[in-house]
Amino acid sequence: MQKTLFAAAFAAALSLSGPLAAAGITADEVAAAQKIWAEGIVAIGAAHTGGQDYKSAAIRHIDTLYAYDSGPVLFKPTKAAVDQFRETKQQALDYFIGAAGTEDTGFAITPWTAVRFENHGIATVGDGAVAMGNYYFTDTAGTETKVEYTFGYIRDANGALRINVHHSSLPYPKP
């Protein structure tokens, strides 16, 4: 019974109403959205390093990929300890580019040269999808940092995928 209630609640949380509600999200669409997300993170860091308008790049990244304008987004960033969750678009921006007086030092302004997704799996549920796995951030020295992630996706009113769940964490260290 509890498993059925959870599944129903999960499906309801990912549901979308309107003319596009019948269009299910495919694994290929999730992979394309992940590629765009990765390129956006690299572009923000490159803009910062190049003295360009990295704030605008980060705003475009959030506006293009996250569902803050459609409803709640559950965002738990990798490097967050004091303020663990980012409920608003402004909080997401602060995390990506940094904010004075907070723990946010600008995850995306680190000049990452690549971000590579390795999906453990993609589950499509009604009108939504959830992807879970590891992604790897490559720094300018060529060192990769492995991060565990779960992203949830919904389709917006224009048919584009939007992230409504983003959870990232560093792997548990071996004892």
At position 165, the amino acid (one-letter code) is: V
Give the pair of three-digit tokens for residue 79: 């490097």
CA-to-CA distance for 76 and 85, rounded, in angstroms? 5
Q: Where are the alpha helices (DSSP H) in 15-162?
A: 27-49, 54-65, 89-97
Residue 104 has pLDDT above 90, yes or no: no
- pTM across the whole model: 0.84
What is the pairing mode between strands 161-169 and 74-76? Answer: parallel
Q: What is the mean pLDDT of residues 87-109?
A: 92
Residue 5 has pLDDT above 50, yes or no: no
pLDDT tens, 40-49? Answer: 999 999 999 9
Please report which confidence band the pLDDT of residue 132 belongs to, taking 50, 70 and 90 as the band edges: very high
Which regions of 86-157 does DSSP assign to beta strands (E)?
114-125, 128-138, 144-155
Residue 115 has pLDDT above 60, yes or no: yes
Strand partners, 76: 167
- Burial class from Cβ neighbours inside 10 Å (0-12, 13-18, 19+) for residue 115 reads buried
CATH architecture of the domain with range 23-169: Roll (3.10)
Query: How far from 56 is each of 45, 52, 127, CA to CA, in Å?
Result: 12, 9, 30
What pLDDT does 83 receive?
87
CA-to-CA distance for 9 and 90, rounded, in angstroms? 28
CA-to-CA distance for 81 and 84, rounded, in angstroms? 5
Start-to-end Cα distance in the chain:
37
What pLDDT does 18 receive?
40
Domain boundaries along the sequence of the chain: 23-169
Residue 144 has pLDDT above 90, yes or no: yes
pLDDT tens, 49-77? Answer: 999 999 999 999 999 999 999 999 999 99
For residue 76, what are the contacts with CB-CB under 8 A and spacing of at least 6?
Answer: 84, 85, 86, 166, 167, 168, 169
